[in-house]
């Protein structure tokens, strides 16, 4: 496992809320924030993996992350979890909108139910999570919101039209809310992962031949892992990035 060396004193004891924090990139973020000494709350639909992560971090540090099982398509449940986490741990100062699902699909077979479900996973929860967390940040004197985009928006990939549409909208959401919330001391930025080799990607989509082609496009010839994404998220969450908002930060190995 890659270990990030940078420590951010401003993250110590700060309440952080992560969607999809139990597996993949989200689990790497939960680990990283927890090891910074933050008060970490996360939600996920992957209960078994999430409970294993909680047990792992508790055994490692003696501190227990706050976890709730939650389907982000259920907006009342999502917002209730954010409120509950704030009540339990103190006002949320960092919100990481990480949860997403990049299922492949043939454009000919997409119906309104499929399309709406994709938006209910990949776009709608980001706005309503912000709507619930921002008042806590305002009360606390400011905060940082980190949305997740995708390199797929820049690459014109096929077989992902619903997902790519939602991720393209995330960039607009970030910029608009950065303007709305800036006067309250709340920053909003987008992290844009490249082809991150999560277990799900390797199991479902990416073959060894695919990975070889991906590395041909990257300037850096390395396998991008969830742990590579965590350092930029730590920086954007911390006070060290207090002057940055409404921007996009790629983690793609120098795609070209």
Query: What residues are annotated to the active site?
Result: 163
Which residue do the tokens 């980001």 mark?
A: 126
Q: How far is CA 202 from CA 153, 197, 240, 249, in A?
A: 20, 6, 34, 24
Cα Rg, the chain, nearest whole Å: 17
Residue 255 DSSP label? B
Which residue do the tokens 């299922």 mark?
A: 103
Q: Are the CB atoms for 128 and 75 separated by under 8 Å? A: yes
Contacts of 77 (CB under 8 A, 6+ apart): 70, 71
């Amino acid at each position: 496992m890659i270990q990030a060396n940078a420590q951010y004193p401003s993250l110590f004891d700060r309440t952080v809320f992560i969607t999809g924090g139990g597996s993949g990139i989200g689990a790497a973020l939960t680990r990283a924030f927890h090891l910074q000494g933050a008060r970490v709350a996360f939600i996920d639909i992957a209960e078994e993996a999430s409970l294993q992560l909680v047990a792992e971090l508790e055994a490692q540090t003696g501190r227990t992350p706050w976890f709730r099982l939650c389907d982000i398509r259920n907006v009342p449940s999502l917002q209730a979890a954010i409120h509950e986490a704030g009540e339990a741990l103190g006002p949320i100062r960092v919100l990481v909108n990480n949860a997403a699902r990049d299922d492949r699909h043939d454009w000919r077979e997409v119906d309104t139910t499929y399309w709406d479900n994709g938006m209910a996973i990949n776009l709608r929860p980001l706005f309503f999570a912000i709507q619930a967390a921002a008042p806590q940040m305002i009360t606390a004197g400011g905060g940082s919101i980190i949305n997740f985009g995708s390199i797929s928006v820049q690459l014109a990939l096929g077989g992902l039209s619903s997902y790519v549409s939602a991720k393209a909208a995330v960039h607009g959401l970030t910029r608009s809310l950065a303007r709305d919330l800036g006067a309250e001391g709340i920053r909003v930025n987008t992290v844009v992962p490249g082809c991150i080799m999560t277990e799900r990607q390797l199991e479902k989509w990416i073959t060894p031949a695919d990975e070889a082609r991906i590395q041909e496009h990257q300037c850096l010839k390395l396998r991008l892992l969830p742990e590579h994404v965590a350092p930029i998220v730590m920086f954007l969450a911390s006070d060290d990035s207090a002057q940055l908002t409404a921007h996009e930060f790629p983690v793609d190995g120098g795609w070209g």
